[in-house]
Amino acid sequence: MGKQRRKFSTDFKRQVVQEIEAGMSTNEAARRYQISPSVIDQWKSHYRQGTLVDKPNAEVKALRKENQLLKAKIGELVMENEHLKKLDVWIRRERKLDTSVITAKNLEEFQEGAGS
């Protein structure tokens, strides 16, 4: 079995980079903390770019994925609800036209419905 990979916190990485920027050499920091100089160079690069941040763990990733799926479902349901509302209005209008008696008050409505 190979060597187990060590994981360092973002705070620790930031501390090492700040020590180097304060005057300690990369090789000296590498010896002190028993870390490869190339790894420290990567940390410095990320630190300078502002991308030295914690990676989300599996639970956070799962929650984000679930959130995305739920938002998509909400969108579908909103669209379906709007469609059903429009369908309800259309059905009510059709029923009203089919069962209504034409009077002077609703004559215009019937003429509009017949013209379309």
Show me where the domains of the chain are located.
Answer: 7-54, 56-116
Instruction: Tell which residue, 37, 40, 50, 36, has the closest CA to residue 15.
Output: 40
The pLDDT, as a whole number, for residue 112 is 72
Q: How far is CA 115 from the centre of its chain?
A: 48
Instruction: Tell which residue, 109, 115, 85, has the closest CA to residue 97.
Output: 109
Average of pLDDT values for 8-23?
90
User: Is 60 in contact with 71 (CB distance < 8 Å)?
Assistant: no
The pLDDT, as a whole number, for residue 115 is 59
- The top-level CATH class assigned to 7-54 is mainly alpha
Residue 8 CA to residue 11 CA, distance in Å, equals 8
The 10s digit of each residue's pLDDT in 17-58 is 999 999 999 999 999 999 999 999 999 999 888 888 777 788
Residue 9 CA to residue 99 CA, distance in Å, equals 74
Tokens of 96: 């009203």
